[in-house]
């Protein structure tokens, strides 16, 4: 899957605005590239998938209520991605 197709992939599954955890699991099974960890509100970190599509530059993984999954440390986010998504080498953004 080209990284520019993430938004289209989500749209085809009926949810272009949110990458829920179950959808992230499916997407990680199809595409291991483009996953990241980035700073998020109040010293937390979120996880997501980059895209080159003009509709959105990135997709943050959310819970079923649409709230971003947030982790207290990069290591906690990395461990979650490894065990829940099978992503071993996410890009780390530290601003």
**Exposure of 73 in the CB half-sphere (CA atoms within 13 A):** 3
Residue recorded with tokens 């990069």: 74
pLDDT per residue as tens digits for the range 1-33: 554 576 677 767 766 667 889 999 998 998 888
Q: Can you give the pLDDT at residue 52?
A: 61
Length of the chain: 95
Lowest mean pLDDT among 65-69, 80-84, 87-91: 65-69
The reported pLDDT for the residue numbered 4 is 52
Per-residue pLDDT tens over the stretch 44-61: 999 998 876 554 557 889
Domain boundaries, the chain: 3-92
Which of 14 and 38 is assigned the larger pLDDT? Answer: 38
- In this prediction, residue 85 has a pLDDT band, given cuts at 50, 70 and 90, of very high
CA distance 6 to 92: 19
User: What single DSSP character describes residue 81?
Assistant: I
Task: Yes or no: say if 74 and 68 are a contact pair by the CB < 8 Å rule.
Answer: no
């Amino acid at each position: 899957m080209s990284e520019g197709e993430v938004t289209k992939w989500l749209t085809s599954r009926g949810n272009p605005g949110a990458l829920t955890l179950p959808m992230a699991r499916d997407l990680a099974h199809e595409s291991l590239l483009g996953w990241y960890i980035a700073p998020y509100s109040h010293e937390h970190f979120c996880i997501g998938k980059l895209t080159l599509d003009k509709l959105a530059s990135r997709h943050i993984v959310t819970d079923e209520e649409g709230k971003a999954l947030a982790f207290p440390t990069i290591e906690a986010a990395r461990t979650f991605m490894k065990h829940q998504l099978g992503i071993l080498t996410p890009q780390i953004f530290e601003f």
